[in-house]
Amino acid sequence: MASQPILLFDGDCGFCSRTIEVVQRTVRPRVQFVPWQHADLTALKVTEDRANREVIWVSPVGGKVYGGQRALSAVLMSGRKRWWWLGFVLLMPPVNWMARGVYRVVAKNRHRLPGGTVACSLPAHMRGKSDL
């Protein structure tokens, strides 16, 4: 297990990759960003299906795994102090309920967002096929 948290993201998705770049530059979280396609998902106790659906935070302590808006909250809370409060707020009802809904809509439509591609909307086993 890594000594710092790992955030798994979709390395095939332009929108996801660009978002990670912005987060690294602005939030500066203490986390290792890893495209799930290059990770040992079995060792991290994450399924390919889940990694394909949402970003995943894997804690180095106890191997706790959080997905979606909860993972984003963890990223914010591990960054600069000015971002910590936003991560904390994302955990509080009713904000967390709204954040969950917004996250799901964005994740399902990431191929339509700036930088996204049609590949973002395909299941992992269909990406890169020439007959699409």
Q: Where are the domains of the chain?
A: 6-117
Distance CA 8, CA 74 (A): 13
* Structure confidence at residue 27 (pLDDT): 97
Distance CA 60, CA 105 (A): 29
* Structure confidence at residue 44 (pLDDT): 95
Band the pLDDT of 111: cuts 50, 70, 90. Answer: confident
- Across the range 99-112, mean pLDDT stands at 92
pTM value?
0.86
* Structure confidence at residue 118 (pLDDT): 61
Give yes or no for residue 114 having a pLDDT over 90: no
SS3 16: helix
Nearest partner of 26 among 101, 91, 86, judged by Cα: 86
* Structure confidence at residue 122 (pLDDT): 56
The answer to whether the beta carbons of residues 126 and 119 sit under 8 Å apart is: no
Q: Where is average pLDDT lowest: 28-37, 51-60, 76-85, 113-122?
A: 113-122
| DSSP notation for 42-107 | HHHT--HHHHHHS-EEE-TTTT-EEEHHHHHHHHHHTS-HHHHHHHHHTTSTTHHHHHHHHHHHHH
3-state secondary structure 27-41: CCCCCEEEEHHHCCH
